[in-house]
């Protein structure tokens, strides 16, 4: 059993915990930076990216999160979590954590009332995934080593940059846990590689 952390400062925390547990793994809600030492992988949930950034600064998480990623421990950002992980954010001078080689645009599918669901093909996961988009960002540009996993209306909505996974939608808001399982498999592969 692997231990997957869910950053518990704001956003859809309990839904991610449920998804991880449905996949048969242990979920740990991360409220203090020291807890990052206890987990094999980390999910940064959806929520409000500006609020989340303020809380990350308030609780002194930034350096620890960057170190976590630099140790090549897998990280998975959904919606606001993707914005936090991106190296570039359209219209902003500075990234947040800045570990994923992508440029994102916030709220690119519209406001809350324009929330929608779409059937996506996600490479390596499934040809049919019911994705829930709420005030979703999308990836404008992906670096050359970034694998594009899914598009919606021609826009990149899921991608993988080596040990970092990001998506525009909320996989935790459905009963389909295959994308969460994909991330858990990334974590297991990393542990296997490191134990060689």
Which of 79, 96, 167, 177 is catalytic? The answer is 79
Query: Can you tell me which residue has the tokens 């976590």?
Result: 68
Q: Strand, coil or helix: what is 60?
A: coil
User: Is 128 labeled as catalytic in the residue annotation?
Assistant: no
Which of 16, 96, 170, 177 is catalytic? The answer is 170
Q: 6 forms bridges with which residues in the sheet?
A: 29, 43
Residues near 114 by beta carbon (within 8 Å), at least 6 away in sequence = none
Which of 15, 25, 105, 172 is catalytic? The answer is 172
User: Is 16 labeled as catalytic in the residue annotation?
Assistant: no
Cα–Cα separations (whole angstroms), residue 103 to 78, 93, 137, 166: 15, 12, 10, 12
Query: Residue 148: which H helix or E strand, with range?
Result: strand 147-152
User: Is 79 labeled as catalytic in the residue annotation?
Assistant: yes
Q: Report the catalytic residues.
A: 79, 170, 172
């Amino acid at each position: 059993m692997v231990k997957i952390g869910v950053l518990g400062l704001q956003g859809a925390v309990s839904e991610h915990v449920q998804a991880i547990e449905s996949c048969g793994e242990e979920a740990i809600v991360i409220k203090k930076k020291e807890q990052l030492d206890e987990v094999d992988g980390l999910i940064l949930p959806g929520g409000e990216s500006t609020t989340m950034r303020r809380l990350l600064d308030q609780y002194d998480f930034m350096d620890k999160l960057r170190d976590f990623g630099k140790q090549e421990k897998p990280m998975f950002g959904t919606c606001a979590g993707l914005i936090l992980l991106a190296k570039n954010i359209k219209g902003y001078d500075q990234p947040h954590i800045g570990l994923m080689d992508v440029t994102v645009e916030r709220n690119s599918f519209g406001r809350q009332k324009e929330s929608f669901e779409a059937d996506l093909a996600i490479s390596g996961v499934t040809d049919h995934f019911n994705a829930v988009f709420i005030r979703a960002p999308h990836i404008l540009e992906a670096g050359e080593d970034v694998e594009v996993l899914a598009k919606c209306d021609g826009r990149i909505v899921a991608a993988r940059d080596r040990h970092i996974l990001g998506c525009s939608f909320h996989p935790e808001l459905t009963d389909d846990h295959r994308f969460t399982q994909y991330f858990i498999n990334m974590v297991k592969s990393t542990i296997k590689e490191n134990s060689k």
